[in-house]
Structure 1
Amino acid sequence: MSRRDTVNSIFMRKADIPAPSVGAEKNPDRVRAGAVSAMGASLQEMTEAARAAGRLQAQISSGFSVLEIAPADISNSSISDRIPDERDAEFDALVASIAEHGQKVPILVRPDPEKEGQYQIAYGRRRLRAAAKLGLKVKAIVQNLSDNELVIAQGKENLDRQDLSFIEKALFAHRLEDAGYPRDVIIAALSTDKADLSRYISVARGVPQAVIMAIGPAPKAGRARWLALVDAVSSSLKKVEAIIEDDAFADLDSDQRLQRVLSKMVARDATKAPGETWKTRQGQKAAQIERSGTKTRITFDERMVPEFADYLTTRLDELFEEFGATRSQR
Structure 2
Amino acid sequence: MSKAPGKKSILASFAAYTAPPGPAPEKEQPREPSAPLARVGAGVVGATQRSIAELRAERDELKALVEAGTGRELDPAVIDPSPFPDRLPDDDQTSFESFKALIASEGQIVPILVRPSPGNPDRYQVIYGHRRLRAARELGLNVKATVTEFDDRELAIAQGIENAARQDLSWIEKALFAARMDAAGVKARDIRSALSIDDPELARYRAVCRAIPEDIIQTIGRAPKAGRTRWASFAKACADDAALDRTRETLAAAKVQDSDRRFVLALEAATAKEKPEQTDLALRNSAGRTLGRAQFSRREIKLTIETKEAASFSDFLQNELPSLVERYYAEKDA
TM-score, normalising length from structure 1?
0.60
Gaps of 5+ in 1: 1-54, 273-330
Q: CA deviation at 1:209?
A: 0.3
Q: Report the counterpart of residue 179 of structure 1 in structure 2.
A: 184
Q: Which of 104, 110, 115 lines up with 2:115 in the alignment? A: 110
Q: Cα distance 1:204–1:122, how it changes in 2: closer, same or farther (>3 A)? A: same
Q: Which residue matches 2:244?
A: 237
Distance 2:172 2:66 in 1: 39
**Structure 1 residue 60: Cα displacement:** 9.3
Give the alignment partner of residue 206 of structure 2, picking from 201, 220, 232: 201
Aligned residue in 1 for 2:220: 215
Listed as ranges, the matches of 1:67-106 within 5 Å are 67-85=72-90, 87-106=92-111
Ranges in structure 2 where 5+ consecutive residues have no aligned partner: 1-59, 277-334
Cα distance, 1:239 vs structure 2: 0.4
Q: How does 1:158-307 map to 2 (within 5 A)?
A: 158-235=163-240, 236-248=243-255, 251-266=256-271, 268-269=272-273
CA RMSD of aligned residues (A): 2.3
Distance 1:203 1:127 in 2: 31
Alignment of 1:48-59 (within 5 A): none
CA contact (8 A) 2:244 2:270 kept: no
Task: Give the conservation status (yes or no) of the 8 Å contact 2:73–2:143.
Answer: yes
Q: Distance in 1 between matches of 2:227 and 2:274?
A: 23
Tell me the TM-score normalised to structure 2 length.
0.59
Change over 3 Å in CA distance of 1:147–1:69 after alignment to 2: same
Task: Give the conservation status (yes or no) of the 8 Å contact 2:246–2:269.
Answer: no
The one of 103, 114, 131 aligned to 1:126: 131
Tell me how many residue pairs correspond in the alignment: 213
Secondary structure, counterpart of 2:120 in structure 1:
coil
Instruction: Note the C-alpha offset of 1:265.
Output: 4.5
Larger Rg, first or second structure (1 or 2): 2
The 1-side partners of 2:237 and 2:70 are apart by 49
User: CA 1:61–1:177 in 2, change beyond 3 Å: closer, same or farther?
Assistant: closer
Change (3 A) 1:59 1:68: farther
Give the SS at the match of 1:117: strand
Q: Which residue of 2 aligns with 1:147?
A: 152
SS of 1:111's partner is strand
Task: Tell me the equivalent position of 2:293.
Answer: none
Q: Matched residues in 2 for 1:265 and 1:195: separation?
A: 25
Please tell me the residue identity of whatever aligns with 2:79: I
